[in-house]
C-alpha cells in the first residue's frame, strides 16, 4: 500500500514537471503581439486611473481594476455587496434559534474529544496568524496591487475555517469567535462602506459645495474630493477605506456562514423541529 501511494505521488510530480517544461518550451504556441491600439473605453480607464495631471477624471489608483470596482462603477459593487448581504441574512433566518449555549452544551469535552491530531493542531496554530497577516496585507494594498477587500476578507475567513476543521466548532465557539461577534464585525464593515460612499456628500454639505455619492476625487461640477495621499503615502482617496471595510464585512460574513454550516445536525434539528407557527 505504501509503495502504491509513493508511485501515485511520484507520477503526479512527474506530470507537473513534464507539463511545466512543455509549457516553458512553447507547447501552447506563441501568442500574437498585442495590438497597438485598444478600445476607447479601455484606453480611457488606463489613462485616467492614476494621472495627477487630470484631477477631474483620475481615481488616483495605479490599479485599473480597483478604480473600476470602487470608483467608476462603484454602484455595481455596492449592489453586489447587497446581494451577498441578503444571502447571508437568509442563512441566518434559517438558523434562527440555534444559540452558542446550545451548541456548547452538546459537547462533553470541548477541547480533548474533538479535532484532529496534535501535529495538525500545532501546524494550525502556526499558520492561523500568518493567514490573518497575509489577508490584511491583501486588503490594505488593494488600491496598489491586484487584490482588495473581498479577496483579503475571503483569505481571512480561511483562518477560522482551518480552526473549525482541525480543532472543531466547539473550540472556536468557546474562544469567543461565535455568531454574535462575527455579526458585529460584518455590520461594522457594511456601515463603514455606507459612510465612505457618502463621505464626499457629507463634506459637501459642510462646505456648501456640490458632491456625489461614491465620489472619490474632485469633478468639474463637484470640487469636493478625498485626499489621495496621507503624509506622502498614496491611499487613492476612498479606495483605501472601502477595501478595509469590505475586508471586515467579507471576513465576518464568511466566518458566520462557516460557523452556521458546522453546527451539529442534532442541535439544529432540535430547534427547527420544535418551532410552531400560528
Distance from C-alpha of 92 to C-alpha of 98, rounded to nearest angstrom: 10
pLDDT at 110: 46
Distance from C-alpha of 76 to C-alpha of 69, rounded to nearest angstrom: 8
Distance from C-alpha of 56 to C-alpha of 224, rounded to nearest angstrom: 10
pLDDT at 109: 45
- Local confidence pLDDT in tens for the 278 residues of the chain: 678 777 877 888 888 888 778 777 776 665 555 556 777 888 888 888 988 888 888 999 998 888 998 998 888 988 888 888 888 888 888 777 666 656 666 555 444 456 788 888 888 888 999 999 999 999 999 998 888 899 999 999 999 999 888 887 778 777 777 778 888 999 999 999 999 999 999 999 998 889 999 999 988 888 998 899 988 889 999 999 999 999 999 999 999 888 888 777 666 666 666 555 44
Give every CB contact of residue 244 below 8 A, 6+ residues apart in sequence. Answer: 139, 140, 149, 192
Distance from C-alpha of 235 to C-alpha of 226, rounded to nearest angstrom: 10
Region of residue 176 (phi > 0: left; psi between -120 and 50: alpha; otherwise: beta)? left
Q: Rounded to an integer, what is the distance from CA 94 to the centroid of its chain?
A: 24
Cβ proximity of 91 and 186 under 8 Å: no
pLDDT at 130: 92
Closest C-alpha to 157, from 66, 88, 97: 88
pLDDT at 135: 94
Give every CB contact of residue 113 below 8 A, 6+ residues apart in sequence. Answer: 107
Distance from C-alpha of 92 to C-alpha of 200, rounded to nearest angstrom: 33
- Residue 234 forms beta bridges with which residues? 229
Amino acid at each position: 500500500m505504501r509503495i502504491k501511494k509513493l508511485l501515485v505521488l511520484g507520477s503526479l510530480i512527474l506530470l507537473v514537471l513534464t507539463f511545466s517544461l512543455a509549457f516553458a518550451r512553447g507547447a501552447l504556441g506563441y501568442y500574437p503581439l498585442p495590438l497597438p491600439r485598444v478600445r476607447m473605453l479601455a484606453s480611457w480607464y488606463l489613462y485616467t486611473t492614476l494621472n495627477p495631471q487630470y484631477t477631474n477624471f483620475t481615481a488616483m489608483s495605479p490599479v485599473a481594476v480597483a478604480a473600476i470596482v470602487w470608483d467608476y462603477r462603484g454602484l455595481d459593487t455596492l449592489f453586489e455587496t447587497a446581494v451577498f448581504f441578503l444571502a447571508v441574512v437568509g442563512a441566518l433566518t434559517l438558523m434562527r434559534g440555534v444559540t452558542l449555549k446550545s451548541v456548547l452544551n452538546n459537547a462533553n469535552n470541548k477541547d480533548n474529544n474533538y479535532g484532529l491530531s496534535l501535529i495538525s493542531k500545532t501546524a494550525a496554530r502556526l499558520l492561523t496568524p500568518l493567514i490573518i497577516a497575509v489577508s490584511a496585507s491583501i486588503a490594505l494594498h488593494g488600491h496598489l496591487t491586484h487584490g482588495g477587500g473581498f479577496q483579503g476578507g475571503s483569505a481571512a475567513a480561511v483562518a477560522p475555517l482551518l480552526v473549525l476543521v482541525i480543532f472543531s466548532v466547539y473550540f472556536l465557539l468557546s474562544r469567543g469567535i461565535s455568531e454574535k461577534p462575527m455579526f458585529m464585525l460584518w455590520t461594522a464593515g457594511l456601515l463603514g462602506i455606507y459612510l465612505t460612499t457618502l463621505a464626499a456628500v457629507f463634506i459637501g454639505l459642510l462646505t456648501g459645495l456640490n458632491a456625489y455619492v461614491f465620489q472619490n476625487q474632485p469633478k468639474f461640477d463637484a470640487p469636493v474630493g478625498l485626499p489621495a495621499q496621507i503624509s506622502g503615502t498614496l491611499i487613492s482617496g476612498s479606495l483605501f477605506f472601502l477595501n478595509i471595510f469590505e475586508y471586515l464585512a467579507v471576513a465576518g460574513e464568511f466566518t458566520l456562514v462557516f460557523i452556521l454550516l458546522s453546527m451539529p445536525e442534532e442541535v439544529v434539528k432540535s430547534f427547527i423541529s420544535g418551532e410552531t407557527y400560528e
